[in-house]
């Protein structure tokens, strides 16, 4: 497999993680709304943290590829 194909595959993995987290974010928001209890919105915070970490890791990966 070419180096470019490997980079592409890694990007797909990072993006898949971000999409999965975004879907979880949607689920938590819907659950919070249906519960009619604003405290359930706190459950969104760990998901946002996960998205933030995924994006940071993806960014670092891309930047590392630019250094090579």
Handedness of CA 50, 52, 56, 61 (dihedral sign): positive
Residue 44's closest CA among 23, 27, 21, 28? 28
Stated pTM of the model: 0.84
Give dist(CA 68, CA 59) in Å, integer.
Answer: 15
DSSP string for residues in 22-65: HHHHHHHHHHHHHHT-GGGGGGHHHHHHHHHHHHHHHHHHHHHH
For 19-66, how does the pLDDT look when each residue is reduced to its tens digit (9 = 90+)?
Answer: 999 999 999 999 999 999 999 999 999 999 999 999 999 999 999 988
């Amino acid at each position: 497999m070419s180096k470019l194909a490997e980079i592409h595959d890694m990007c797909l993995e990072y993006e898949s993680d971000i999409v999965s987290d975004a879907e979880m974010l949607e689920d938590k928001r819907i659950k919070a709304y249906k519960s009619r209890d604003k405290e359930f919105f706190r459950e969104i915070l760990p998901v946002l943290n996960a998205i933030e970490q995924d994006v940071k890791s993806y960014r670092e990966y891309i930047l590392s590829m630019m250094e090579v």
